[in-house]
Chain A
């Protein structure tokens, strides 16, 4: 992998994320890049199911939300250090996703997609009634937890670099899978699952692995996100908006590509930022997302990267 140019392209992007806010201690840039990193993380991992295996996960937020809850709970109620909590979160949510997957991965296409929504609703209903996690009021973290990180100020920087690390891991994970045998099997499943099975691709195992892998990093990102917010409640943790936006980003950038998703996430985040500031459009976030998705699905199903590869076919050899 180190010999391929794309590996270094990703490294360059990650370096840019690390270095740019450090120049001039630009806190505003840092926050905006942090959000971009979250979007890239969510979209890249969603892409494993959507772009590679061809399964739409409408409810990918459940990994993010559960990750948030587990991390916050470990840090607050059990006083675990952040690093250990994040690791446990990732492993825990991945393991839990295998349990969900066992039930819903045997469902095909649209039914799988619909049941992912049901999982979010089910988990949200459960958490709202689960007192150890604060029920519907949620959990507040006391500010002392930021002390080991050097206090609230420096903590934000540490958290930012952790976001970037998770984003880097997501990009390398989706790239690494794409050029591996596992990735080839997933792509075959995405093209024609029955033919893939006849060719010998072990479809149940691969789908389960993919689904579980797509849960790990978003869970950690969720843990970081809500740790930083110092507060988590069910309506925020399981808001389907974020997973919907991840789908739009994947389709916008070009499902199944690593570059496209990162590009799409960045563009979408800029668009969204602009919309939220403009008073005319702030209520219309979902409408714009919907309209964008509709246009892409109707006229540009291969997204941005499809458009770029049409114009510059040589780029396909370098980018993924």
Chain B
């Protein structure tokens, strides 16, 4: 299996804080990989490392066979990586269509303006913003802005999409809609790396899960496995004795058959 994205012992330090510590994992093309972990575990930092906002202190990031470690954000975008932000970053005084057109013009395909507008329209339709193409970004609701963030990333026709808490702040109906959209995006051939705190959502969406804690990889595997992993439970519930207890309980029940 050739990995689409490969992180090789990536570390990032901010002054005294080691935000990401010797992290390695790989992503297959077409999979949805969920990234979970307590607050401050380094998830958003990881996204910033992948798309070039930060440069790792050590380690390599390889995308589609190309070493993109330390490349500037706009060059990373050209390779075919797009992302959404936890705190949305709309181009406020531009319309939905214009926002998406920026994504289409300067993303992987580097389209000329007239083709970009068409691609922008398509992307807006996928997320359900096609009825508000000429609305100004600043006039959208928070849900609308989240959809815009996603549409704009999609318009770039990326190979890898980084979703950073795209469900935060949405009501249950909006969440359902968004999950369906994410599935459709994957089905169209886009690989997705998703950070999410909504456990049910991320567990059902992801093919595999990576758990981060204090910048390190705590666990990796299928959602069900990871959910049962004692160390993961301990990290989330915070009780250091819990892991040992749970492990003992598991062994005990295994012994009893």
Contacts and interface: CB of A to CB of B under 8 A. Distances in A.
Q: Do chains A and B touch in the complex (CB under 8 A)?
A: yes
A250 to B, nearest CB: 16
B142 interface: no
Contacts of A185: 102, 105-106
Interface in A176-211: 179-181, 184-185, 187-188, 191-192, 194-203
Interface SS of A by simple majority: helix
A178 B120 CA distance: 18
B102 A196 contact: yes
Interface in B93-117: 93-94, 98, 101-103, 105-107, 110, 112-113, 116
A199 B91 CA distance: 11
Interface of B: 51, 53, 72-74, 77-78, 82-83, 85, 89-94, 98, 101-103, 105-107, 110, 112-113, 116, 152, 156
A215 to B, nearest CB: 24
Nearest to A191: B91
B92 A191 contact: yes
A187 B94 contact: yes
Contact of A201 (B82, B102, B116): B102
Contact of B105 (A181, A192, A194, A197): A181
Interface of A: 179-181, 184-185, 187-188, 191-192, 194-203
10 contacts: A179-B113, A184-B102, A196-B102, A197-B74, A198-B53, A199-B74, A199-B77, A200-B74, A200-B106, A202-B106
Contact of A192 (B53, B78, B89, B98): B89
Given A195-B89, A198-B89, 17 more contacts: A180-B113, A181-B112, A185-B106, A187-B98, A188-B91, A188-B94, A191-B91, A191-B92, A192-B91, A194-B53, A198-B74, A199-B152, A199-B156, A200-B74, A200-B103, A200-B106, A200-B107
Contacts of B51: 198
Contacts of A180: 113
Contacts of B101: 184
A201 B104 CA distance: 10
Contacts of A198: 51, 53, 73-74, 77, 83, 89
Contacts of A197: 72-74
A209 to B, nearest CB: 14
A200 B94 contact: no
A303 to B, nearest CB: 13
Interface centre among B78, B83, B94 (most CB of A within 10 A): B94
Contacts of A196: 91, 102, 106
B94 A201 contact: no
